[in-house]
Amino acid sequence: MFPTMKSDKILLVLLFIIQSSFVFAIEQASEERLDEVATKGRSVMPFNLEKTLHVFTKTEQGGVQQVTVKNPQDDSQITLIQSHLDKIYQDFKQRDFSDPEEIHGPDMPGLKALRESSSSDIVLQYRQLKQGAEITYTTKKPELIEAIHLWFDAQLSDHARHSSMHQLHHKMMHK
């Protein structure tokens, strides 16, 4: 028998659901690795990981990295977040990724491609938010979009206790 239009639609929906589950499935690092990253992170990031949240939003042209406070009244953490993200924004414009390398290691997925890209390949934008700050990464080069996405995935895995990939969170911070 020939497939019906209805069965074709059902098959397409099922394929989409299966594919989506692979896209959003990021393996959390082991507890030992999470502890190691948190310890190394304290020497690089001045804010308290327990009081903050890293949010990574992949986009069609790169992505957005946010760090926000869990308590919107915590002005000292907000100031530390903004200072740190401004610093790494300045570093990243010079293709200096030594801070994430110190935390995650030299073999961090996507890092080599980001470091080797020219300053005109990826447009970076820093912005202060009411509850923290963000850096936007934009490129037209597919291999660098992939590198940014891999880099975000690695951070999501290594910062699993303190991070999220969440489109809605990104949109809510800008209202």
Q: Please give, one letter per residue, the 3-state secondary structure of 104-144.
A: HCCCCCCHHHHHHCCCCCCEEEEEEECCEEEEEEECCCHHH
Nearest to 65 by CA among 168, 164, 175, 144: 164
Which residue has better confidence, 103 or 70?
Answer: 70
In this prediction the pTM is: 0.75
Question: What pLDDT does residue 151 have?
Answer: 92
Is residue 85 over pLDDT 50?
Answer: yes
Average per-residue pLDDT for the chain: 80
Question: What pLDDT does residue 43 have?
Answer: 76
Spatial distance between the Cα atoms of 20 and 8, rounded to a whole number of angstroms: 18
Is residue 35 over pLDDT 80?
Answer: no
Residue 154 — very low, low, confident or very high, per pLDDT cuts 50/70/90?
confident
Q: What is the DSSP letter of 29?
A: P
Spatial distance between the Cα atoms of 174 and 17, rounded to a whole number of angstroms: 29
